[in-house]
Amino acid sequence: MELMQKLLREKFPNRQAVITEITNLEAILNLPKPTEHFVSDLHGEFPAFDHVLRNGSGNIKQKIIENFGDQLTKDSIQDFATLVYYPEDMLLAERQKRTEDQLKQWYLDTFARLIELLKISATKYTRSKVRKALDPNFAYITEELLYTDHREVDKRAYYNQIMQNLLKLNQADQFIIATCYTIQHLIVDHLHVIGDIFDRGPEPDQIMERLMNYHSVDIQWGNHDILWLGAVSGSALCLMNLLRISARYDNLGIIEDHYGINLRHLFFFADQHYQALPAFYPKTMSDQKQLTEVEKKMIAKVQAAVTIIQFKLEGQLKQRRPEWRLPQVGLLGEINWQNQTVKINGQDYELSNQCFATVDQQNPFVLTAEEKTVTDGLLNSFINSSKLRRQLDFMMQAGSMYKIANGNLLFHGCVPVDGKGKFLTLHSKNQSYTGQALFCFFEKQLRQAYAHPNRQNDPATDWTWYLWQGPLSPLFGKHAMTTFARYFVADQKTHIERKNPYFVLRREEWFCRQIMQEFGLDPQTGHVINGHTPVKRGQEPIMANKKMIVIDGGFSKAYQPTTGIGGYTLLSNSYGLQLVSHHPFTSKQDAIKNETDIISTIQVVNHEVERKKVADTDTGKQIKENIRQLHQLLKIYASKE
């Protein structure tokens, strides 16, 4: 407190300065609550994610319709919206469509409209916040345009004059581009990413770069993100899972080309020791580049090689942590080599695949010397990849296991519970953890593991892997991961992964209220917002009398056949919550050429009786606290007068 007062005194050295600041802050409290945007399960699908960011999940179009709906045709609205999303590409296209004179007219009209839209987007913010969103090259003239009050007639002439000048100076395009990006920026104040940026899709690194350059973002880690965080924290087991999934979805290129990690030794090792079994062929999406048979075979060998290393390391972990009682882990040790069967839950099943050439039947969990060299080398490269480290540092800094934001509770998966909804307990070192404490326990472990990549088989690093597939992991939420059985046993019974009862109970209001209470939220006004489970065709994303919203964005192409749509995102503005459903995204070219928004419907989840203000938000609380302290300072100044 003392320090705070001292800092305040330095910043506001006299009575007048304090009064000005209080007035300013009071004004901010009365502004409408800025818009929050929620997305989830991006799974490496950069262009689709980028598209949703550019159109603010339909928010830009909505603003255009509200404000220009009676002046513009449907086509012109769409043209204008697409210009705001993709200004560079649309400018090129517009230029080609017109004669010189028509083009000049187009620039003048567009310019006036853009300034109007910018004004509308900026109304919720203070001048200083708007200034920060402006391109410095055009900040002065934009502020002039935004805040100078002209009569209608004068305004047109004034705009025209500025535009003529920009055209003459060859700056018109740059100005339009800058203004479109400022509108994109202002239309959403803050972004929440509810996990799973990595795996399955081809460009997680691009997503990370986009997030790192985004003006305001937080991330709730997903189980797939954990594999990458775990790998750079020194978990060979996370690394092998990550490589296995990358091979399975034909994404090894990310590791080599985008993160500069050499996989030559792994390929060489796999080629020497493995056959290409169909179970390990990569799953490719129809729009991915087609692989040749030779390429598929090579990737299948790599997937098999890392899968076996994964199962050996799982066996070692099971021996290291017997108290974790991990179901379906360590099954390499349950193989009856003579009968060619494996024991799962006390029952023997025939092995349907064979690729155990590197497994020593007496010591099935021991890595061969070559496997060890490959594993150590790769782990070292992951730990030392500077690009990966930079991106994951950001993920650690902006990320957490859960987040409470403006009265809502955000986390990726679940709170593990029993069938009656009682929180399950995890025991570690004579301590027990349930509910919120369980989330904090895991967050602490991950932060510790991440800070010490050279400690590799320590509890913190093992707990990090546990987050990927442990039965009490809030990010996983199933009784077991049946990967071994899925590769090696034909009987589908063994493939079943039972979901935690949470996923059924979350449809009930009392249960969601209990969760919010556990995390200290007001269940009357709050919501729980989850990702992780794709909302399948016919399922409702809004549950429990609107207390629970599941927004797996459906970005992952692998899941689109089961969801039937592109997925859901969420907007929270001063009027309430809106759930936006998306059509599957095809490509940026398609979005520009056919001017598709991919928004199918916008559904109101709740409508605030009274429009929410900044005063009602987390920022508002902070501001009120600042005002309180400034009043104290005022008293001190008054007492000295």
218: enclosing H helix or E strand? strand 217-220
Does residue 483 touch ligand FBP according to CB under 6 A?
yes
527 binding partner (options Mn ion, ligand FBP, none; Cβ < 5 to 8 Å by kind): none
Q: CB 476 → Mn ion: shortest distance, Å?
A: 8
Rounded to 10°, the helix 236-248/293-320 angle is 150
Rounded to whole angstroms, the Cα distance separating 405 from 34 reads 13
**Contacting range for ligand FBP; rule: CB under 6 A; set: 66-74, 334-342, 476-484, 617-625:** 476-484
Which of 222, 364, 470, 553 touches Mn ion (CB under 5 A)? 222
Does residue 40 touch ligand FBP according to CB under 6 A?
no
478 binding partner (options Mn ion, ligand FBP, none; Cβ < 5 to 8 Å by kind): ligand FBP
Interface characters, 218-247, with ligand FBP (x: CB under 6 A): -----x------------------------
Q: Which residue has the tokens 């305004």?
A: 155
Q: Which residues in the 248-267 window bind ligand FBP by CB under 6 A?
A: 248
Rounded to whole angstroms, the Cα distance separating 226 from 223 reads 5
Q: Which is nearer to ligand FBP, 185 or 248 (CB)?
A: 248
Interface characters, 106-135, with ligand FBP (x: CB under 6 A): ------------------------------
Which has the closest alpha carbon to 359: 368, 372, 350, 370? 368
Q: CB 531 → Mn ion: shortest distance, Å?
A: 7
**Contacting range for Mn ion; rule: CB under 5 A; set: 97-105, 111-119, 524-532, 612-620:** 524-532
Number of residues that bind Mn ion (CB under 5 A): 4
142 binding partner (options ligand FBP, Mn ion, none; Cβ < 5 to 8 Å by kind): none
Rounded to whole angstroms, the Cα distance separating 454 from 462 reads 13
Which has the closest alpha carbon to 267: 368, 230, 285, 276? 276
Single-letter amino acid code for the residue at 443: E
Q: Which residue has the tokens 């449907």?
A: 74
Does residue 506 touch ligand FBP according to CB under 6 A?
no
307 binding partner (options Mn ion, ligand FBP, none; Cβ < 5 to 8 Å by kind): none
The first and second tokens of residue 503, run together, are 């996923």
**C-beta of residue 86 within 8 angstroms of C-beta of residue 54:** yes
Q: CB 242 → ligand FBP: shortest distance, Å?
A: 12
481 binding partner (options Mn ion, ligand FBP, none; Cβ < 5 to 8 Å by kind): ligand FBP
Q: CB 310 → ligand FBP: shortest distance, Å?
A: 12
Rounded to whole angstroms, the Cα distance separating 45 from 231 reads 21
Q: Which is nearer to ligand FBP, 58 or 474 (CB)?
A: 474
Count of helix runs (H) and strand runs (E) in the chain: 27, 17
Q: CB 637 → ligand FBP: shortest distance, Å?
A: 57
Q: Which residues in the 528-567 window bind Mn ion by CB under 5 A?
A: 532
209 binding partner (options ligand FBP, Mn ion, none; Cβ < 5 to 8 Å by kind): none
Number of residues that bind ligand FBP (CB under 6 A): 7
First vs last C-alpha separation in the chain: 23
Q: CB 509 → ligand FBP: shortest distance, Å?
A: 26
Rounded to whole angstroms, the Cα distance separating 243 from 266 reads 10
303 binding partner (options Mn ion, ligand FBP, none; Cβ < 5 to 8 Å by kind): none
The first and second tokens of residue 551, run together, are 């927004």
Does residue 223 touch Mn ion according to CB under 5 A?
yes
Strand partners, 404: 409
Kindly list the distances between the CA atom of residue 614 and the CA atoms of 60, 191, 573, 574, in Å, as whole numbers in the listed order: 21, 17, 11, 9
Does residue 196 touch Mn ion according to CB under 5 A?
yes
**C-beta of residue 534 within 8 angstroms of C-beta of residue 562:** yes
- b/e per residue, 47-85, with b = 16+ CB within 10 A? bbbbbbbbbbbbbbbbbbeeebeeebeeeebbbbbbbbb
The pair phi, psi for residue 423, each rounded to 5°, is -65, 135
**C-beta of residue 44 within 8 angstroms of C-beta of residue 200:** yes
Q: Which is nearer to ligand FBP, 145 or 276 (CB)?
A: 276
Q: CB 224 → Mn ion: shortest distance, Å?
A: 6
**Contacting range for ligand FBP; rule: CB under 6 A; set: 310-318, 474-482, 544-552, 584-592:** 474-482
Kindly list the distances between the CA atom of residue 320 and the CA atoms of 233, 344, 442, in Å, as whole numbers in the listed order: 18, 20, 19
Does residue 478 touch ligand FBP according to CB under 6 A?
yes
Q: Which is nearer to ligand FBP, 331 or 630 (CB)?
A: 331
Does residue 310 touch Mn ion according to CB under 5 A?
no
Helix (H, G, I), strand (E, B) or coil at 363: coil
The pair phi, psi for residue 233, each rounded to 5°, is -85, 0
Q: Which is nearer to Mn ion, 406 or 563 (CB)?
A: 563
557 binding partner (options Mn ion, ligand FBP, none; Cβ < 5 to 8 Å by kind): none
Task: State which residue has the least CB distance to Mn ion.
Answer: 532
Rounded to whole angstroms, the Cα distance separating 578 from 569 reads 9
Does residue 497 touch ligand FBP according to CB under 6 A?
yes
Q: Which is nearer to ligand FBP, 481 or 544 (CB)?
A: 481
483 binding partner (options Mn ion, ligand FBP, none; Cβ < 5 to 8 Å by kind): ligand FBP
**Contacting range for Mn ion; rule: CB under 5 A; set: 163-171, 192-200, 329-337, 427-435:** 192-200
Does residue 467 touch ligand FBP according to CB under 6 A?
no
Does residue 271 touch ligand FBP according to CB under 6 A?
no
248 binding partner (options ligand FBP, Mn ion, none; Cβ < 5 to 8 Å by kind): ligand FBP
HSE of 213 in the Cβ direction (CA atoms, 13 Å)? 8
Q: What is the CA radius of gyration of the chain?
A: 28
- Provide the phi-psi class of 41: left if phi over 0, else alpha when psi is between -120 and 50, else beta: left
Does residue 500 touch Mn ion according to CB under 5 A?
no
Single-letter amino acid code for the residue at 424: L
Q: In the complex, which residues of this chain contact ligand FBP (CB under 6 A)? A: 223, 248, 478, 481-483, 497
Q: In the complex, which residues of this chain contact Mn ion (CB under 5 A)? A: 196, 222-223, 532
